[in-house]
Structure 1
Amino acid sequence: MVSKVFTDSSIAVPAQETFLKTWQVIRQIDNLNSIEQLWAAYYTYIGNDIFATGLLFFCLHEIMYFGRSLPWFIIDRIPYFRKYKIQDTKMPSNKEQWECMKSVLISHFMVEAFPIWFFHPICEKIGISFYVPFPSLSSMAFQVSLFFLLEDAWHYWFHRGLHYGSFYKYIHKQHHRYAAPFGLAAEYAHPIEVMLLGFGTVGIPIIWCYFTRDLHLFTICIWITLRLYQAVDAHSGYEFPWSFHHFLPIWAGAEHHDEHHHHFIGNYASSFRMWDFFLSTEAGDIAKKTRENKQKAKAEKLAKKAN
């Protein structure tokens, strides 16, 4: 099987003996930037699009997840950063980190790996492109921003649903094993929860492309990279003066999600704060006090009208 990774069907580059040689040949093609050249060289050298896409997404997921978790693991062991720890009396032990990592790895290989390896046939079926050149930066930025908003809504409602009755007891309770979360715990969850909430990350781009026929695999790579970065950071347990929500107030971040783990309820959204704010599901003592004051003011207003 030979990859047909070029939009221009007249371009045919056979795979060379090594990836480096394949890349050097493709570098001679005009109108491709350096990332597009590497992308085309990768698919050309592998020569099997199904395997190439599966390997790409599996490695991307593992590198981003554990690569982003590693700095938090190190920070947990440096006393200087303790002042930024949100729940500073609860530091994860090496044993907890190790047990969490083993569980996450099992989930990655036993639950997530299978659909990843069959992702490319779905892409071909609904029109997700993997050709070069890539779409414009503005197009990719718009789609990634839209996916963040749509995934946040999906996550809010299904995460909130997982806190009810048997759903919490038999499914979501596993994720709440750690009342003070840490980076590795972002995907520490029951397989049903992994699939349910994970659909917001993978399924939303698929649905978008099904209706629009306008999506590229590289855009999905960017989206998954940023989504994993956000998920791990939200579980880091640290609040810094330079944390992103200080610059973008609607961003959730670790301070928002840590309250969810601490109180076991509220703050259900993943990336933003709007849903919790407008639906009065914010967690924490400050949010509770604010709701009580609003209810008190409303009651006083009604009492005045009655008199």
Structure 2
Amino acid sequence: MSASEMGFAVSDELLGTFVPILVYWLYSGIYALLGSFEDYRLHSKKDEDEKNLVSKRTVIKGVILQQTIQAVVAILLFTVTGNDGDSAGPKHSLIVLARQFVTAMLVLDTWQYFMHRYMHHNKFLYKHIHSQHHRLVVPYAFGALYNHPLEGLLLDTIGGALSFLLSGMSPRVSIFFFSFATIKTVDDHCGLWLPGNLFHVFFGNNTAYHDVHHQLYGTKYNFSQPFFVMWDRILGTHMPYTLEKRADGGFEARPAKEVKEE
């Protein structure tokens, strides 16, 4: 248990459930405030308002529904595993923690790549489930987790549970891992190419990379999320991009090679 300075205790399991949700809204809120900087946008504010096929009110309600489902599953998972975190037993070394983080990242990426790609290739699943996420033709930060509830369960919730279990991390470590994964997912959908963004420096899978996927010509490419691009490269679905300045300000992510038609 993690005791606060005020004298009451909050379990690592509870923090691992709700801190990533709080991080989601705080981080996406920052990007919402920065969205007025047209010189750094991948799409104009006008395009965001006109091209998207769903209202922001509906997006917010959809995200809250998904986060509610995630919270319920997380509480059940922590209850079943019965892991009381780091309060008992030895402290892990930085090497062990790094291994757990990398393992969880690889597990989450692998699960999401194949599930995500299958939802594009299966016409029934795309039409009735995954197309909901692609109503955001112009992505923005707090729409990162806007999905059909079944997709949210399959991709994000089950993928997160597998990464937690297979990495062997404790509930305390999961607080940091899932907060990090949440920040990365929000960043990939933020629609801004800000100078000095470390995610753009250290990850090939970034805001522009995922923006290509959200465009009509990109729905057969760049399925990888949220961290690495290895599966796209290995299986031939990798679409590199170029960043070009728009005449009205900002940038545009364009495919760097010819897009194959079906």
Smaller-chain TM-score bracket:
0.7 to 0.9
Which of 136, 140, 157 aligns to 2:114? It is 157
Alpha-carbon contact 1:53-1:117 (below 8 Å) kept: no
Between structure 1 and structure 2, the one with the greater Rg is: 1
Which of 214, 217, 238 aligns to 2:192? It is 238
Cα distance change on mapping 1:92 and 1:203 into 2, 3 Å: farther
Give distance in 2, aligned partners of 1:74 and 1:166. 37
1:215-253 deviation line (CA, Å, top 9, x unaligned): 3222111110110010000000112332335533x5311
Shift of 1:92: 4.1
Alpha-carbon contact 1:86-1:237 (below 8 Å) kept: yes
> Where does the alignment leave 5 or more consecutive residues of structure 1 unmatched?
6-14, 23-41, 47-51, 210-214, 293-307
3-state DSSP class of the match of 1:181? coil
- TM normalised by structure 1 equals 0.69
Shift of 1:59: 2.2
| % identical aligned pairs | 25
- TM normalised by structure 2 equals 0.80
1:265 aligns with 2:220: yes
Give distance in 2, aligned partners of 1:170 and 1:204. 27
Shift of 1:21: 5.5
Q: Report the AA paired with residue 224 of structure 2.
A: A
Alpha-carbon contact 1:134-1:218 (below 8 Å) kept: no
3-state DSSP class of the match of 1:160? helix
Counting only pairs closer than 5 Å after superposition, residues 139-288 of structure 1 correspond to structure 2 as: 139-163=96-120, 164-198=122-156, 199-209=158-168, 215-244=169-198, 246-248=200-202, 250-263=203-216, 264-270=219-225, 271-283=227-239, 286-288=255-257
CA RMSD in angstroms, aligned pairs only: 2.7
Give distance in 2, aligned partners of 1:128 and 1:260. 40
Give distance in 1, aligned partners of 2:31 and 2:49. 11
Q: Report the AA paired with residue 261 of structure 1.
A: H
Greater strand proportion: 2
Cα distance change on mapping 1:194 and 1:242 into 2, 3 Å: same
Give distance in 2, aligned partners of 1:55 and 1:252. 30
Shift of 1:275: 1.8
1:84 aligns with 2:37: no
Which of 86, 96, 99 aligns to 2:58? It is 99
Which has the higher mean CA deviation after the structures are superposed, 52-61 or 273-282? Answer: 52-61
Shift of 1:181: 0.4
Counting only pairs closer than 5 Å after superposition, residues 36-55 of structure 1 correspond to structure 2 as: 45=9, 52-55=11-14
Shift of 1:257: 0.5
Report the equivalent of 1:20. 5
1:112 aligns with 2:32: no
Alpha-carbon contact 1:53-1:119 (below 8 Å) kept: no
Cα distance change on mapping 1:73 and 1:96 into 2, 3 Å: farther
3-state DSSP class of the match of 2:144? helix
How many residues end up aligned between the 2 structures? 238
Alpha-carbon contact 2:113-2:223 (below 8 Å) kept: yes
3-state DSSP class of the match of 1:251? coil
Higher RCO (CA-CA < 8 Å; seq separation 6+): 2
Give distance in 1, aligned partners of 2:220 and 2:43. 16
Alpha-carbon contact 1:252-1:273 (below 8 Å) kept: yes
Shift of 1:71: 0.9
